[in-house]
Structures are given as structure tokens and as C-alpha cells.
Amino acid sequence: MSKRLSEAEGAGNADRRAFNALMEACGTAVLAIDKNGVIAMANSNAAKFNETSASELVGKPLIRVTLSADIEQLVRSAIEGGEMRSRTVRFRGPEGRFLRVTARPLTNDGVHEGTLIVAQDVTTLRRLQIVRQDFVANVSHELRTPLASIRAMAETLQDGRGMEERISRSFLETIISEVDRLTRIANDLLTLSEAESRPSAKAGFDFSKLTESVITRFQGPAKRAGITIRANIEPEITVIAAQDQMEQVLVNLIDNAIKYNSIDGSVDVGLRGSPGSIHLTVSDTGVGIAQEHLPRIFERFYRVDRARSRQSGGTGLGLSIVKHIVEAHDGSITANSDFNRGSTFKIDLPTGSADIKERVDAANQNTV
């Protein structure tokens, strides 16, 4: 008899251990409250949401722990309806987390004994949904504006019998300009999509030569705009990366530095290497960016000065493309700016494997 009791107790202990292991490994916050709304059980994930320990939660009223009227209302609704209820709630905290909370009433012979609450952090998913919604709205706006202009001009030309040639030529130039703008938006959207979703084909190349080539390409436009480009490029810096994407990064940063510069201003491009990394900086003496705008400048279609951006042919996607390319290469980008004094963008990138220089040099010799 004692042996059977011992075996039963051992089986019970094993079940409890399995249950506790399941609660800890499930990846969600789990709470059980009694019929009075007092927490009877909590796992470690629930404790993390409240920045305390599971034992500290037990014995406290749910509303005191969560401080959430939404969760309290959800539990009450589940109890009154006698069925499981779920909803997404905004949880307390400076950054405002979002939780998907499910409440399931626990009964015994029809008598309510408590409620099981499961909460999953869906903050990242919710923010991605918001970004997607904003992106769709911004794309619609950016496309609708030039299309409306094209339609208006085309209808005017269609109905404009006897219109002066000078006016009709002006309308046609506007139509072509708006079509060019739509083309730039479409091209940048495709580039951004590739940077976000398609793995880039990486190979070793001389980043110093690439940087010098892009700077040379912009010397003409910079001179016409009254801008001086100065370069401080450390030679023979080699990396493993997607060369076409790195070229896009350089083009976007230098192009912006020229567009948003001041008359008689300057652009400084610096490139240096350190063990395992390269460091690229692009600085200008332009209008700068106010501090309140800096956290958002890498967002898609975000413009500090919409009128100037459109006037200069910007699509609002250039910096977002740069950020996604850099991060796809395990790098980082930061921006610093003083309003009306200029901006500096700094990129840090890993160079790749240790033998990259030898392989690049060998490839260069084979092409000679």
C-alpha cells in the first residue's frame, strides 16, 4: 500500500514538474486568478511583463498588477459570457507595448472557480502593421498627386483648341516632369523592395575605388550647384558586399548632401578602415535637420521639407534605401545634424573574412 502511495506521489510530482516546465517554455505570459480576481499562479513571462518575480504576483488582485481596465473588462466579459474571449490591449510602459490577451473562465460543475489568462507580446507585429498601413497611405498619396496633375494637364490640352503654343508646351513639360517623378518613385520602390527581401550577392571589391568613382561622377553636378566636394579616402580598403548596393548607398548620401546644401557649401566624404570594419562619413554644410526630425529621417516617404524635396526631385525613399542596404550587410548608420549648419551620416560596415584582400588582389591580377 505504501509503495502504491509513493508511486502515486512520484507520478504527481512528475506531472507538476512537466506542467511547470510547460508554463516556462510556452513563450507567453500565463496567469490564473481565482473567483475573486486574485492571482493564484503566474509563470516567469508574466513576471517579466511586470518587472518582478512570479512569487511576487501571487496573492495580488489582477487589477493592481496590470493597472489595465481593458484586461479587467475582458476577464469580466469572459466570465459573464461563459466562454473564451480575446482582444489586443495596450499595456502600460513608456514605449507602450501591445498584448494579445485571452481570458478563459474555469468552471467546476457549472460553478465559476477562476479564470486562466494568456498574454502574448505582439508589439513588433502591431508596429509592422502600422508601418504597412502608413506605407500604403504614403504610396497612394505620392502616386495620386502627379497622376492628378497629369490628368488635369492632359484634359486641358484635349479641350484647348486655339491654345497658344507657349502654354501647350508648358503643359507638356509639366506632364513629362510628373512622369519622370513617377518613374523615380517606381524605381526607388523596386530598389527598396530588393534591399528588404532579396538576399544580395556579395563579392570582394575595392571600396576605396568605388567611393572615388562615385565622387568623380558627382563633381560636375556639384560644381554647377556651387558645391565643393572634398574627399579623404584611405586607399585599398576592401570589403565583401554587394557592390551595386554599396554604390547605391554612396549615390544616395552624396546626392542628398549636394541637394540640401547651401550656396558655396561643401561636401566631405571620408573613408577609413579598422580591423574588421570600414567607416564611411558623408558631411555637408547645408540646411541641417532639426533634432525632432532626426529619429524619423530613415522612414519611408518621410521628408523634413516636403516642398524642397519635391522641387529637387526627391522621392522620400533615399535614406530608407540606404538604411536597409546597410543593415542587410550587418552594418549600422547614424545621423547627426545641427540645424542650419549641416548634417553628417556615418556608416560602419564589417569587411568580411580575413583573407578578403588576398582574394581581391588575386582577382585583380587575373584581369590584367
Compute the distance between CA of residue 89 and CA of residue 98 in angstroms, rounded to an integer.
6
Compute the distance between CA of residue 182 and CA of residue 1 in angstroms, rounded to an integer.
85
Domain formed by 128-198, architecture? Orthogonal Bundle (1.10)
Compute the distance between CA of residue 337 and CA of residue 368 in angstroms, rounded to an integer.
44
Domain formed by 202-368, architecture? 2-Layer Sandwich (3.30)
**Does residue 169 carry a pLDDT above 70?**
yes
Compute the distance between CA of residue 264 and CA of residue 248 in angstroms, rounded to an integer.
26
17-31, 87-101, 163-177, 337-351: range with lowest mean pLDDT? 17-31
- For residue 283, what pLDDT is reported? 94
Is there a contact between 57 and 29 (Cβ–Cβ < 8 Å)? Answer: no
Over residues 356-364, the mean pLDDT reads 50
Compute the distance between CA of residue 320 and CA of residue 246 in angstroms, rounded to an integer.
14
- For residue 19, what pLDDT is reported? 57
pLDDT digits (tens, 9 = 90+) for 62-117: 888 888 888 888 899 988 888 999 988 887 655 668 889 999 998 888 888 889 98
- Joined grid coordinates for residue 60: 495580488
DSSP 160: -
Read out DSSP for 243-271?
HHHHHHHHHHHHHHHHHTPPTT-EEEEEE
3-state secondary structure 19-62: HHHHHHHCCCEEEEEECCCEEEEECHHHHHHCCCCHHHHCCCEH
- For residue 135, what pLDDT is reported? 66
- For residue 313, what pLDDT is reported? 53
DSSP three-state, residue 288: coil
- For residue 207, what pLDDT is reported? 95
DSSP 96: -
The residue assigned the cell 487589477 is 63
pTM over 0.85: no
pLDDT digits (tens, 9 = 90+) for 188-243: 777 777 766 666 678 899 999 999 999 999 998 899 989 999 999 999 999 999 88
pLDDT digits (tens, 9 = 90+) for 108-158: 888 888 899 898 888 888 777 776 666 666 677 667 777 888 888 788 787
In this prediction, residue 183 has a pLDDT band, given cuts at 50, 70 and 90, of confident
| Domain boundaries of the chain, sorted by first residue | 2-121, 128-198, 202-368
Compute the distance between CA of residue 188 and CA of residue 315 in angstroms, rounded to an integer.
8
For the domain bounded by 2-121, which CATH number is listed? 3.30.450.20
Q: Is 297 exposed, middle or buried (0-12, 13-18, 19+ CB in 10 A)?
A: middle
Strands 277-284 and 342-350: antiparallel
Read out DSSP for 215-241?
HHHHHHHHHHTT-EEEEEE-S--EEEE
**Cβ neighbours of residue 162 under 8 Å, at least 6 residues apart?**
none
**Does residue 285 carry a pLDDT above 50?**
yes
In this prediction, residue 4 has a pLDDT band, given cuts at 50, 70 and 90, of very low
